Chain A
Amino acid sequence: MRPRLSIAPLLVTALLWAAVAPSIVIDPREAGAQAPSGTLTVAVATFGNERWLPHLYVGAEDVVLKPMYENLLTRDPKTGDLAPMLAERWKVADSGRTWTFYLRKGVQFHDGRGELTAEDVRFTFATLAKDGSANSLAPEFRLIKSMEVENPYTLTVRFEKPFVAFGNKVNQGLFASVAFIQSKRHMESAKDDGAERHPVATGPWKFVEHVRGDRIVYEAVENHWRATPHFKRLVFLKVPEPSTRMAMLRAGSVDVIEIGGEYADELKKVGVRTLLMPNVSWVYIILGGQWPTKATYDPKVPWAQPDAERARKVRVALNLAVDKQAIMQRVLGGLGTALGSWLMYPADPWASDALKKPLPYDPAKAKALLAEAGYPGGFDVTMNLTPWPGRGFLPDVGEAVATYWEKVGIRVKRRPVDRAVFASDFRARAYSGVALAYASPLVAPEPWEVLYRAGYTKAALCLFVEHPKLDEYVDRLAVQPSYQERVRIMRDEMGPWLTEYVPGVAIGSAHAIVGLGPKVGDWPVIAGHMGFHNWEYVSRAAR
């Protein structure tokens, strides 16, 4: 039976937004009050796949594409709430089945490609969803039933089923939020090859040059509708070696560097300024094989065996054996918070104190639980040590956990494996009995949105864990239009269930740091946004 839903809260929310929206947009005067000048040079480890077309970039390019592109919505830097961007307001109706976006008038595409209209937005969404699209949001955009251009500045998007979190899919304020709005006119006239060589968008920075594997150069758009940058040029250099990035920053060759938490002490020692980006990813150990309905299910895997109680004891033991606090301190350089709750961050409204508390470090109890579960002498585990882009610390987390497990009698075989090799197993769920460290970036603010991909039996892909109870929560949350009710379900029902079920080894939320040179002044970042963003608001330091 379909739950009874009220659309009143949605309408109220939409009206409220319409009323307060203009005050949430960062005033252009808050950005470069004077004409942009100078160059801001940034050294990053990777440019991702270095693609510029919406159906060809995956999401890892977020950092280098974001200066140029814009989305319909963004997140308020302070509260994390949805805020207007290219859409000055929006309306959600029919319990989340219909989303109407009212575009800002007068927003221009770069290089004289004309004004942004609803046709551009419709074209972008259709491109994201087309067959063979590599965009990470393609599955979500394929849920669109129809799109109607009401007038040049109004687009209505309709879904078969309620899509209450669609606002998070068209959002500049999240990592890998790659529904960047493209110019239909440019894409059609330049064709794929031309548009790839010279992309055009509406953002505060316009494309100048891209030397593959070496540099990407942007130039400030003066009198931009939202924020005229303080710097005239923004140059991204690809510098894969972290020591070189550090040296380049210290030598003044670059102004901003991407750096891992393991360098935090070193940066401090040499007096380099850092910027903290708090709670950008959630670190945990995936215990592969918890998918009893799939062909690759192996009932002999201790943590996924059919005897649910014994399996749970094993999973709890694997948690108790690990000192999460020590991992946070020694592996992540103190840049994070050990947490017991799943896919939640300390300041989230659904993260209650009871949920946040991690399972204690208690190797003796872990051994006892293993014995109770029928493994007094431990068992064999393979720990994959696989680095993921932007999360180079993961093999070290895996190694630390493996060492703790060995102390309680578990025999761990370390398997350093490249992501390309493991990816096929990951997709095919062919890693039953294998554990690996993973960090989910904050690509969606609500935990159920992440679980929709990682723990939902009916989703196209279920990478991590499946359970009828989890499906039930996801089903309810996905169509629940009231944000407050979703908060309640996550805090009072799904959160406690996950904490009780213990799907893996929860480590906690991790922060990221950035090294800054003397040229850089203020840099307002959006809490929870992994990777660089908001370049247009980076000010020049006062001399």
Chain B
Amino acid sequence: MWRFLIGRMLQTVLSMLVVISIVFVLTRLSGNPVHLLLDVNASERDQQILMHHLGLDKPLPVQYAIYVKNVLHGDFGNSVLSRRPVTEHIWERLPATAELGFVAMFLSVLIGVPLGMYSAVRRGGALDSAARVFAVLGQSMPAFWLGLMLILIFAVVLGFLPAGGRGGIEHIVLPAFTLGYFTSAAILRLTRSAMLEVLGSDYIKFARLKGLPERVVLWKHGLKNALLPVVTFAVMLFVQFLGGAVVTETVFAWPGLGRLILESITTRDYPIVQAGVLVLSGLYLTGNLLVDFLYGYLNPRIRHARA
């Protein structure tokens, strides 16, 4: 088990090094922030001063070496735009993103798992058909369009909820539903197909033959086994929410991490892009690691094989 753990951690570190290298090169290929920070009439001397101040006048390999060394010391540098520490910006935005991600994930699981389970149990019934329609709509509707429709109905026409921005609990309802609808539909479909497979297996038949109550068969033996792929999917989706909710964040003017990274790409704020991607890939890889352990917990066969 320890060997497995250490191996996975080494893989994680290596992957992050690859990620930051790629991001470092790509950001520098995409344009010079100095051109956006200075007026078009700025002199050559002003450009040189700013380039020097930002450390962009050094050769690329030197910039890269400095960057990696600083990252290893926990220093992500300062934003080229605000000149404040990048970590300050990330911490400023992370709570909003985490809040949205948690609520959206909670909604997705709350809707997707029970609906998927009952859809499998009542296969071919009215509930199954309704659930499948829900899933198809959820997966085919773009978040951008859904968000605007929800704003139009619940904010403009009915006036129940605010149209955008971050504030009280009422502000999170529409963005969380927009973000969570797609994933709840995906979780529903995944739970349904996993449950269908599990319900057809020998051990479920055996459990029923043993005369176990249907509730125990479904919840203890069925759902626990069917949850394996769902958990992997849900964890990965949650991590994606943290960085990939940019469309929802933009539509609802939600000041999250995704929007920060997108805006930083537009303004060529290299340090924020690099740190943002590093944080997200770190979360993604940590999520992967967590899934591996959860697999072990949920499936004893995997646990024993690793031992």
A420 close to B31 (CB less than 8 A):
yes
The reply to whether the CB of B279 lies closer than 8 angstroms to some CB of chain A is no
Q: Which of B32, B33, B43 contacts A460 (CB 8 A)?
A: B43
CA distance A49 to B252 in the complex (A): 21
Stretch at the interface among A28-36, A132-140, A292-300, A527-535: A132-140
CA distance A221 to B7 in the complex (A): 62
A247 close to B92 (CB less than 8 A):
no
Residues from chain A with Cβ under 8 Å of B32 in the complex: 420, 423-424
The reply to whether the CB of A243 lies closer than 8 angstroms to some CB of chain B is yes
**Distance from B76 Cβ to chain A, minimum over Cβ atoms (Å):** 16
- Interface flags, A209-238, vs B, CB<8A=1, else 0: 001111100000000000000000000011
Residues from chain A with Cβ under 8 Å of B148 in the complex: 243-244, 247
**Distance from A436 Cβ to chain B, minimum over Cβ atoms (Å):** 13
Q: Which of A138, A213, A244, A421 contacts B260 (CB 8 A)?
A: A213
Q: Which of B30, B50, B82, B164 contacts A134 (CB 8 A)?
A: B50
- Chain B: CB-nearest residue to A176: B39
The reply to whether the CB of A400 lies closer than 8 angstroms to some CB of chain B is no
- Given A49-B81, A253-B163, A420-B33, A213:B259 Cβ within 8 A: yes
- Interface flags, A106-135, vs B, CB<8A=1, else 0: 000000000000000000000000011111
CA distance A463 to B41 in the complex (A): 9
A213 close to B263 (CB less than 8 A):
yes
The reply to whether the CB of B132 lies closer than 8 angstroms to some CB of chain A is no
CA distance A251 to B164 in the complex (A): 10
Residues from chain B with Cβ under 8 Å of A427 in the complex: 35, 40
Residues from chain A with Cβ under 8 Å of B39 in the complex: 58-59, 134-136, 138
**Distance from B4 Cβ to chain A, minimum over Cβ atoms (Å):** 41
Residues from chain B with Cβ under 8 Å of A460 in the complex: 41, 43
**Distance from A424 Cβ to chain B, minimum over Cβ atoms (Å):** 5
B253 close to A241 (CB less than 8 A):
yes
Stretch at the interface among B134-142, B154-162, B231-239: B154-162
A247 close to B268 (CB less than 8 A):
no
**Distance from A66 Cβ to chain B, minimum over Cβ atoms (Å):** 17
B159 close to A252 (CB less than 8 A):
yes
The reply to whether the CB of B301 lies closer than 8 angstroms to some CB of chain A is no
A134 close to B42 (CB less than 8 A):
yes
A251 close to B151 (CB less than 8 A):
yes
CA distance A48 to B82 in the complex (A): 11
Q: Which of B35, B81, B163 contacts A248 (CB 8 A)?
A: B163
Residues from chain B with Cβ under 8 Å of A196 in the complex: 82-83
**Distance from B53 Cβ to chain A, minimum over Cβ atoms (Å):** 7
CA distance A243 to B42 in the complex (A): 35
Per the 8 Å Cβ criterion, residues 44-97 of B in contact with A are 45-46, 49-50, 53, 81-83, 89, 92-93
Residues from chain A with Cβ under 8 Å of B53 in the complex: 132
The reply to whether the CB of B251 lies closer than 8 angstroms to some CB of chain A is yes
A244 close to B41 (CB less than 8 A):
no
Residues from chain B with Cβ under 8 Å of A237 in the complex: 164-165, 253
CA distance A424 to B41 in the complex (A): 12
- Chain A: CB-nearest residue to B252: A244
The reply to whether the CB of B267 lies closer than 8 angstroms to some CB of chain A is yes
**Distance from B88 Cβ to chain A, minimum over Cβ atoms (Å):** 9
A131 close to B49 (CB less than 8 A):
yes
The reply to whether the CB of B152 lies closer than 8 angstroms to some CB of chain A is yes
**Distance from A44 Cβ to chain B, minimum over Cβ atoms (Å):** 11
Q: Which of A139, A238, A247 contacts B163 (CB 8 A)?
A: A247
- Given A238-B253, A240-B253, A460-B43, A421:B164 Cβ within 8 A: no
A423 close to B40 (CB less than 8 A):
yes
B40 close to A244 (CB less than 8 A):
no
Per the 8 Å Cβ criterion, residues 240-264 of A in contact with B are 240-241, 243-244, 247-248, 250-253
The reply to whether the CB of A453 lies closer than 8 angstroms to some CB of chain B is yes
Extra inter-chain contacts (19) besides given A213-B260, A248-B164, A253-B163, CB under 8 Å: A56-B83, A58-B38, A134-B46, A136-B41, A138-B39, A139-B42, A196-B83, A212-B92, A238-B255, A239-B164, A251-B162, A420-B35, A420-B267, A421-B30, A421-B31, A424-B32, A453-B41, A460-B41, A461-B40
Spell out A's residues near B (CB within 8 Å): 43, 49-51, 56, 58-59, 131-136, 138-139, 196, 211-215, 237-241, 243-244, 247-248, 250-253, 418-421, 423-424, 426-427, 453, 459-461, 463
Spell out B's residues near A (CB within 8 Å): 30-33, 35-43, 45-46, 49-50, 53, 81-83, 89, 92-93, 148, 151-152, 155-156, 159, 162-166, 250-253, 255, 259-260, 263, 266-268
